[in-house]
Amino acid sequence: MDKLHYEDFVEGSTHSFGPRTMTRDEIVAYAREFDSQPMHLDDEAAKDSLLGGLSASGWHTCCFMFRMLYDNLISKSASLGSPGIEETKWLRPVRPDIPLTLHVDILDKRASKSRPEMGLVRMRAQLRGTDGVPVVDQTSTLLIGVREPREAAAR
């Protein structure tokens, strides 16, 4: 099946994926490797923290969200990479075993000036709990292949 190209991304369109959950084992394993703050490792320490209970590292929630985005959208697209993330807000603690859905809004897009074979797609991605309230809110840009670059189309 043909992959999604720059032309297929529609400004103003919205997409929902999931739910998926983060398990306690995944949360603790990630924390051991990358973010060993006690509130991500230990129930007692987490109770006394701002998070109020064992919760995933904010960085882990980003990685988890990207995995959902990759499996549902990026792996099906002519993706070329990303220049970076505009903003990430960690709004609420992410506890183990809570169903999380991913909501993507395509904000805007533009052709690359220097590389006609590439376009930039700006999107807002939110991970939301069962009550629909976001736990992570992120705006970023994807680099997506153009199906018919202007040079080629003009031949």
Residues engaged in binding a copy of itself (CB under 8 A): 33-37, 39, 49-51, 58-59, 62-64, 66-67, 70, 74-75, 79-90, 143
Helices 24-34/58-72 angle, 10° precision: 120
Residue holding tokens 């549902």?
72
Shortest distance, position 108 Cβ to a copy of itself, whole Å: 18
Residue holding tokens 């999380």?
100
Shortest distance, position 119 Cβ to a copy of itself, whole Å: 13
In angstroms, rounded to a whole number, what is the distance separating the alpha carbons of residues 34 and 57? 9
Q: Which is nearer to a copy of itself, 62 or 102 (CB)?
A: 62
Shortest distance, position 135 Cβ to a copy of itself, whole Å: 12
Shortest distance, position 91 Cβ to a copy of itself, whole Å: 8
Q: Which residues pair with 52 in a beta bridge?
A: none
Shortest distance, position 104 Cβ to a copy of itself, whole Å: 17
In angstroms, rounded to a whole number, what is the distance separating the alpha carbons of residues 130 and 97? 11
Q: Which is nearer to a copy of itself, 1 or 50 (CB)?
A: 50
In angstroms, rounded to a whole number, what is the distance separating the alpha carbons of residues 90 and 22? 16
Strands (E) in the chain, as ranges, are 14-20, 79-90, 100-111, 118-128, 134-145
Q: Which is nearer to a copy of itself, 24 or 89 (CB)?
A: 89
Q: Which is nearer to a copy of itself, 9 or 39 (CB)?
A: 39
